[in-house]
Copies of this chain bind each other. A is one copy, B any other.
């Protein structure tokens, strides 16, 4: 926990922002205000934030269908994201992308991705670009436990290994791909053991603890910047909500989510760690909570009131020129 006060505050603010963003969507989607398929990140915040606090704007990430957390952690504008989810003209992607395609090139966020396993090949390419640029940049892909069964993901890890690319593969194992248990669909002992088979240095870590995530990633990313080639991490984690909004979750154990919310809530864990260590006070954190709640409320109100895209926009932005 050798983080400066501002770093701790920033980390907490980011985690809390993701949490509130997702909680807001959960309520709003139930009302039918927001369309499309939405997958919430609630419960996994420590990973997105613990990872991205070690990255620069010039580093790249690719994300997944469950991408809001990664986007916020990498620095996407929350108001722009909220408007995007509401399908507004001045959403981050002009309302064309929606939840599964939030992106922001300016902060190195190469897109959420509706294709499970879609991100890692792209991150591998971004890592190739970073290597050629020679400025110590890295590219990192987030993926779920389910994504580790996709062929293109293996192909990219092999490519990153043979080309010694600064590419980092983060697997968030939240035990399920949709409704299917990870232990059933993944033949190997773990994701990590399988990735190691590619000759890629791989670590297993606790994704409930921001500090563990942060520390593990700090070391791995630093090595990657120095030209030591690709690496990977498998984080243990949980999701608080269903696979998609509307999922009744009857494939989960009777008290599984309840237990996770009580004992494995990464935001709570962060809070108790920093307060117990006397690094931040409950007041400090409550203040951030209020700021975040405010931010989300305001951004939701603005998004709700913002204008929809005009129908002609349907055919713009297909090409740079055509």
| A interface list, Cβ under 8 A from B | 149-155, 157-158, 161-162, 184-189, 193-200
Contact = CB atoms under 8 A, between A and B. Distances in A.
Given A187-B200, A199-B187, A151 B155 contact: yes
6 contacts: A149-B155, A149-B158, A151-B152, A151-B155, A158-B185, A188-B199
Contact of A189 (B153, B186, B199): B199
Contacts of A152: 151
Contacts of A150: 151, 155
A197 B186 contact: no
Contacts of A157: 187
Given A151-B155, A158-B185, A194-B198, 16 more contacts: A151-B151, A151-B153, A154-B154, A157-B187, A158-B186, A158-B187, A161-B187, A161-B188, A162-B187, A187-B198, A187-B200, A188-B198, A188-B199, A194-B197, A194-B199, A197-B197
Nearest to A229: B187
A198 B189 CA distance: 8
Contacts of A196: 197
Nearest to A117: B151
Given A189-B199, A197-B193, A184 B155 contact: no
Nearest to A183: B162
A188 B197 contact: yes
A23 to B, nearest CB: 35
A150 B199 CA distance: 16
Nearest to A157: B187
A44 to B, nearest CB: 24
A185 B162 CA distance: 6
Q: Which 5 A-B pairs have the closest CB atoms?
A: A151-B151, A197-B197, A161-B187, A194-B197, A154-B154
Contacts of A154: 151, 154
A282 to B, nearest CB: 46
